[in-house]
Amino acid sequence: MRASTHRGSRLAAVVLLAALGFGGAATLAGCSGEGATTSCSGTSECTITFDRRADTAKVSILGVEVSVVSATDTAVTLNVAGQEVTVNANASTTVGGLTINVNQITDDEIVVKVTRS
């Protein structure tokens, strides 16, 4: 019986480590938030689509939080890891080791690509 219990404990440990490993990778490259959808490619690039009608539009990506502070038809002000930056549509800037590129601003959404610099 003891060998069976040991084998069961070992299996549980392997399953736990695998879950933590996958969770850790998902957290590193992970994308989560509200009022937005994300698409991440590996651990260095994410595209965020913010819903302009959402009360709160923020995501956590690449280890930082990105949120919409305000937007016009031609520019968006974002809070990136605690720093506010204003970026024109079809332009980019660098903040906190990330390149922020505003790809599109419409009445419904704001599309931003974030890449590690």
Full 3-state SS string of 44-87: CEEEEEEECCCCCCEEEECCEEEEEEEECCCEEEEEECCEEEEE
Query: Would 82 be classed as within a structural domain?
Result: yes
pLDDT tens digits for range 89-115: 999 999 999 999 999 999 999 999 999
In a domain, 112, yes or no: yes
pLDDT at 84: 98
Averaged pLDDT, 56-66: 94
- pTM for the structure as a whole: 0.73
pLDDT per position as a tens digit, 23-52: 333 333 456 689 999 999 989 999 999 999
Range of the domain at 83: 31-116
In a domain, 67, yes or no: yes
The Cα–Cα gap between 49 and 102 comes to 10
Q: Classify residue 110: in a domain, yes or no.
A: yes
Sign of CA dihedral 16, 20, 57, 50: negative
pLDDT of 116 > 80? The answer is yes
With respect to residue 106, please indicate whether it lies within any of the assigned structural domains.
yes
Examine residue 49 and state whether it is found in any structural domain, yes or no. Answer: yes
Query: Does a structural domain hold residue 109?
Result: yes
- Token match 């930056």: residue? 85
**Total tally of structural domains belonging to the chain:** 1
Mean pLDDT on 69-77: 97
Coil vs helix vs strand at 88:
strand
Q: Is residue 63 part of a domain?
A: yes
Kindly indicate the confidence band of residue 7, based on its pLDDT and cuts at 50, 70 and 90: very low
